[in-house]
Amino acid sequence: MMTIFLIFWPLVIALGIFAFKPANAKLVAFVSALVELAVCLFMFVGFDSRNATAWNYQIPWVPSLGINFSVGMDGISFLLVLLTTGLMPFIILSSFKTPNQKPADFYALMLLMQMALVGVFTALDGFLFYVFWEMALIPIYFICLIWGDENRAPVTFKFFVYTLAGSLFMLMALLYLYYQTPGAHTFDIQALYKAGRALSSAQQGVIFWGLFLAFAIKMPVFPFHTWQPDTYTVAPMEGTMLLSGIMLKMGFYGLIRWLLPVVPLGVHEWALTAVVLSVIGIVYASIIAINQKDFKRLIAYASIAHVGLISAGVLTSSKIGLQGALIQMLSHGILAFALFYICEIISTRASTRTISSLGGIRVGAPILTTVFVVVILGTVALPFTSGFVGEFLLLNALFQYNYILGALGGLTIILGAVYMLHAFQYMMLGKHSPQASRVSDLTRHEKIVLYPIVILIFMIGIYPDPLLQISEVAVADLLEGFSNFSAKVK
């Protein structure tokens, strides 16, 4: 029942929000997100990784087609739900000071988004998963389209068509699997696993690419990333936060839950290709980030680089890789949120995001600078910050998988420092530029948003153990569930 609450509570509020005065919409949304987080934290305390079916819930939906409303949370799902519910209050709070013509619509869409995301991370039925997957696209599309920067229409459209095209491949793959299930057919995840594993190696390869395309576009992995920098740049801050903080994790989650266990032979056959693409993405996006003049665009490319490492780690199908990916998803969510927020704070005050026209912000805004430094340290994965734990485990997995790919992927720790320190230097240090003098230090409101983030960055970096423990059993179960299938070929 708890799972059901987590999915539908945001929907209830999203509909109910129109009953309140528009001026109060943000407060309603914030309180609702806090309630959701509180419930989630309560579940966190009582989480028993060995009894993961405790939160499963299933009712028939379209019985004639074998579609059930079947949801549940094991450790893997729970961490992503925790990320979603944990980040939402921050995203809503960060939007408080932005002028907004239609607040009720805006926050209703945000909450709808939350519902769809929690749905994606908990669905245990192929059709339900697809429905939530597509449902997540609608609110973010409107958020970007209505509240985005100028030039948003074509960019948002490209994003929309692109990701939609990807999900159509996924739909085809799921349908194909559906028809392989015995009897009257079912979308039940275990049945789909079974159906997928029974396929020949060649068939599994086709399914692999169908599913992988959808997930790769969402993350995005090189060379399917071209929608991302433009979309991140023109989307409103909250939209970018949702996209990079939470939504792209749908792609990784898809890999973990709906790809690796479904077609083990396909993975065995094609994982290397996909890992190579991911690693190319790490190096390629890092190098392009060096050339960016717009800080928001730089973060977008940095995100592609980080995403590449996570996807490479997942595709190694190793326990350490998956554990690293999960913790890195949490860390990336927090850091992406903070980076885009800081970017917004600076660009609103200075009326520019161009790195070269800023400079010397530190003089007038020491606290902002300090927070920014901490976030950058997390981004470049300095030990004892959240970014290090995942990055180390991922590199560990990747290096075990293939020495050369591991070393190439490791370049991220050098290149990441190159573009981040360069941007930091020319934005924050040096002599006071005219634009920078307009950047005052953090307000009380901004401190309330950013201080907990700073604490989280260090907490996850120094004591990641509780989080690692949550997913440990689930990851081991998931991989052991099909290890004998891929072992057969070896």
Partner 1 sequence: MVDIKVLISCIPLFPLLGFLVIGLNVHKLSHKTSSYVACGSVLISFFLSIIVFAELLGLPPDQRSLNVTILRWISTMGFSSNIAFLVDPLSSVMLLVITGVGFLIHVYSIGYMHDDAGFSRFFSYLNLFIFFMLLLVLGSNYLLMFVGWEGVGLCSYLLIGFWFKNHDYNKAANKAFIMNRIGDLGLLLGVILIFINFGSIDYEMVFASASSVNVTTLTWITVLLFIGAMGKSAQIPLYTWLPDAMAGPTPVSALIHAATMVTAGVYMVARNNILYSLSPVALQLVLVVGLCTALFAATIALMQNDIKKVLAYSTVSQLGLMFVALGLGAYASGIFHMATHAFFKALLFLGAGSVIHALQGEQDIRRMGGLKKYLPVTYMTFFIAVLAISGIPPFAGFFSKDEILAHAFAQNPLVWGIALLASLLTVFYMFRLFFLTFFGNARAGEGIMHHIHESPKSMAVPLIVLAILSFIGGFMNVPGALGGSTWLADYLSPAFHSDFAGEHHLDHTTEYMLMASVVGLTVIVIAVAYLNFVKKKKVPLEDGQLRGAASMVYHKYYVDEIYDRTVVRPLHWFARIADDVIEKLALDRLINSVGQLITGSSNVLRKVQNGSIGFYIFVMVLSIIVILTLTTVAEL
Q: Which of 4, 31, 39, 411 binds partner 1 (CB under 8 A)?
A: 411
| Residue partners of 314: CB distance under 8 A and separation at least 6 | 252, 255, 256, 260, 321, 322, 325
> Quick check: 360 binds partner 1 (CB under 8 A)?
yes
Minimal distance, residue 427 CB to partner 1, in Å:
11
Smaller CB separation from partner 1, 3 or 156: 156
- Count of residues that interact with partner 1, criterion CB under 8 A: 69
Closest CA to 177 of 165, 190, 167: 190
Considering only residues 391 through 410, tell me which ones interact with partner 1, judged by CB under 8 A.
392-393, 395-396, 399-400, 406-407, 410
Determine the Cα angle at 386 with ends 380 and 388, to 5°: 50
How far apart are the C-alpha atoms of 354 and 293, rounded to whole Å? Answer: 6
| Size of the chain in residues | 490
Give the per-residue contact string, 72-111, with partner 1 (x = CB under 8 A; - = no). ----------------------------------------
Q: Which of 69, 133, 212, 224 binds partner 1 (CB under 8 A)?
A: 224
Smaller CB separation from partner 1, 59 or 65: 65
Contact region with partner 1 (CB under 8 A), list: 16-24, 134-142, 261-269, 334-342: 134-142
Tell me the two tokens of residue 375: 């976030």
How far apart are the C-alpha atoms of 411 and 417, rounded to whole Å? Answer: 10
Considering only residues 364 through 383, tell me which ones interact with partner 1, judged by CB under 8 A.
366, 377, 382-383
Handedness of CA 212, 139, 375, 227 (dihedral sign): positive
Contact region with partner 1 (CB under 8 A), list: 69-77, 78-86, 110-118, 149-157: 149-157
Handedness of CA 148, 154, 156, 159 (dihedral sign): negative
Which run of H or of E encompasses 485? helix 465-489
The HSE-up count of residue 63 (CA atoms within 13 Å, CB side) is: 3
Closest CA to 6 of 147, 119, 132: 119
Which run of H or of E encompasses 71? strand 67-71
Q: Which of 27, 35, 39, 429 binds partner 1 (CB under 8 A)?
A: 429
> Quick check: 430 binds partner 1 (CB under 8 A)?
yes
Is there a cis peptide before residue 220, judged by omega within 30 degrees of 0?
yes
Q: Name the site residues for partner 1 (rule: CB under 8 A).
A: 65, 134, 137-138, 141, 145, 153-154, 157, 160-162, 164-165, 168, 171, 175, 179, 185, 223-224, 226, 284, 287-288, 290-292, 319-320, 323, 360, 362-363, 366, 377, 382-384, 389, 392-393, 395-396, 399-400, 406-407, 410-411, 413-414, 417-418, 421-422, 425, 429-431, 462-465, 468-469, 472, 475-476
